[in-house]
């Protein structure tokens, strides 16, 4: 089976997060004849797989490909030109949920390994795949659990490619060598509820919070650095009131999020927010959630090997970027000092009629194969 056939087989398995739909069993059936040992680490209704082909040197490097089999919900089925889990080729594109995010990357990786091992079956280093069905959802029982298990038994990864769709305009234009951290807060400002006609008897928490919000939004949290843009704060939700027009609310609930660079820390951002709230004399409760720490892979051997392979196949010199949301790379960075993300163009991901150009499939396999070839000894 070539890349196209493998992608079609994966798309045909409905795997809306956290369901796997049998994708991991299928991938395992492709890997076992290549000498991979298969270890399932399923937990809490999530399917996880750690597959490893050991090299001849027990102290050799571990080169890993990481990804996910789960996809986001389809949205209204009637708006799809063809059923989302029935792969269809139209006008040189393959359509189906997961075509770009990220079943094509999974298929291309397997084909890359098949071709590589056909040329050089012996290697001192090990190849591995870390796959989950819990990336698009809560990401609680997926990659993070596999990383915890590997860490507990002292098994580290030397290089890891995460097959997320990173490219913007054409395959090869962007490699993600890091991601910003994500810090969320639920702030409840306390006031005194009452009748709007008697303002002297109420404490309107919206009014009390207004100057605080202005200061939070206007603040410069850091200036970023060579690899990351400045840290940003965005208010995502604000709610107060009983629904009645003549009642001043007793509480004001606010949700906001920091996407922060390595120029800041979660602890430092929290301290500054508390300082602003306390300085304005607010009565409040606040609950913090650290969704991800920022990570950065220096411009070293993995970035070089992947960039050289991309240029050889596509003629493009990729840009290294840290933009976008979070990925499972944030968990893998705990046991791997060099983590990058590379995959197809991302213009259709999570959309109705998700698709990938068929020409990208072969190029993607060649890029992964060339990268593995450069890293293996």
pLDDT, the chain, mean: 96
Residue-level pLDDT at 164:
97
Where are the CATH 3.30.70.360 domain residues in the chain? 181-292
Residue-level pLDDT at 257:
98
Q: Is residue 260 scored above 80 in pLDDT?
A: yes
Q: Is residue 1 scored above 90 in pLDDT?
A: no
Q: How far apart are CA 274 and CA 367, in angstroms?
A: 47
Query: pLDDT tens digits for 318-375?
Result: 999 998 888 999 999 999 999 999 999 999 999 999 999 999 999 999 999 999 999 9
274 marked ligand binding residue: no
Residue-level pLDDT at 115:
97
From the candidates 19, 114, 125, 135, give the one annotated as an active-site residue. 135
Residue-level pLDDT at 368:
98
Query: pLDDT tens digits for 106-118?
Result: 999 999 999 999 9
Three-state secondary-structure class, residue 310:
helix
pTM (2 d.p.): 0.90
* Active-site annotation holds for 70: yes
114 marked ligand binding residue: no
136 marked ligand binding residue: yes
**Rounded average pLDDT over 15-44:** 98
Query: pLDDT tens digits for 263-297?
Result: 999 999 999 999 999 999 999 999 999 999 999 99
Query: pLDDT tens digits for 59-96?
Result: 999 999 999 999 999 999 999 999 999 999 999 999 99
Residue-level pLDDT at 26:
98
Q: How far apart are CA 146 and CA 332, in angstroms?
A: 9
* Active-site annotation holds for 278: no
From the candidates 19, 70, 134, 353, give the one annotated as an active-site residue. 70
Q: How far apart are CA 159 and CA 154, in angstroms?
A: 16
Where are the CATH 3.40.630.10 domain residues in the chain? 3-179+294-375
Residue by residue, what is the 3-state secondary structure of 77-114?
Answer: HHHCCCCCCCCEEECCEEECCCHHHHHHHHHHHHHHHH
101 marked ligand binding residue: yes
350 marked ligand binding residue: yes
Residue-level pLDDT at 277:
98
User: Hey, what CATH topology would domain 3-179+294-375 get?
Assistant: Aminopeptidase (3.40.630)
**Contact between residue 162 and residue 329 where contact means Cβ atoms under 8 Å apart:** yes
User: Hey, what CATH topology would domain 181-292 get?
Assistant: Alpha-Beta Plaits (3.30.70)
Residue-level pLDDT at 350:
97
Q: How far apart are CA 109 and CA 126, in angstroms?
A: 15
Q: How far apart are CA 52 and CA 62, in angstroms?
A: 9
């Amino acid at each position: 089976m070539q890349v196209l056939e493998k992608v079609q087989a994966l798309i045909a398995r409905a795997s809306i997060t956290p369901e796997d739909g049998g994708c991991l069993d299928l991938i395992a059936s492709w890997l076992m004849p290549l000498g991979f040992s298969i270890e399932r680490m399923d937990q809490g209704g999530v399917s996880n797989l750690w597959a490893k082909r050991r090299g001849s040197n027990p102290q050799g490097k571990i080169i890993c490909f990481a990804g996910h089999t789960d996809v986001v919900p389809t949205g209204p089925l009637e708006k799809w030109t063809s059923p989302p889990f029935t792969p269809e080729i139209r006008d040189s594109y393959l359509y189906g949920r997961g075509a770009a995010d990220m079943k094509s990357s999974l298929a291309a990786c397997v084909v890359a390994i098949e071709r590589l091992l056909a040329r050089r079956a012996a290697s001192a280093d090990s190849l591995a795949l870390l796959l989950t069905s819990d990336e698009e959802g809560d990401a609680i029982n997926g990659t993070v659990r596999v990383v915890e298990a590997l860490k507990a038994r002292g098994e580290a990864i030397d290089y890891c490619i995460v097959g997320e769709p990173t490219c913007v305009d054409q395959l090869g234009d962007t490699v993600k060598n890091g991601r910003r951290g994500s810090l969320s807060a639920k702030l409840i400002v306390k006031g005194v509820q009452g009748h709007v006609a008697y303002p002297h008897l109420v404490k309107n928490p919206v009014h009390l919070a207004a100057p605080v919000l202005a200061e939070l939004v206007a603040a410069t949290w850091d200036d970023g650095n060579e690899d990351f843009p400045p840290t940003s704060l965005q208010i995502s939700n604000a709610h107060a009131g009983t629904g009645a027009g003549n009642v001043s609310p007793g509480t004001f609930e606010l949700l906001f999020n920091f996407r922060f660079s390595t120029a800041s820390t979660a602890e430092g951002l929290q301290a500054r927010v508390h300082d602003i709230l306390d300085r304005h004399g607010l009565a409040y409760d606040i609950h913090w959630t650290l969704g991800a720490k920022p990570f950065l892979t220096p411009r070293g051997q993995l970035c070089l090997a992947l960039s050289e392979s991309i240029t050889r196949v596509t003629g493009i010199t990729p840009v290294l970027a840290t933009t976008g949301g979070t990925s499972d790379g944030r968990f893998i960075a705990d046991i791997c000092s060099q983590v990058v993300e590379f995959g197809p163009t991302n213009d259709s991901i999570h959309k109705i009629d998700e698709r990938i150009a068929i020409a990208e499939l072969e190029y993607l396999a060649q890029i992964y194969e060339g990268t593995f070839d450069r890293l293996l000894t």
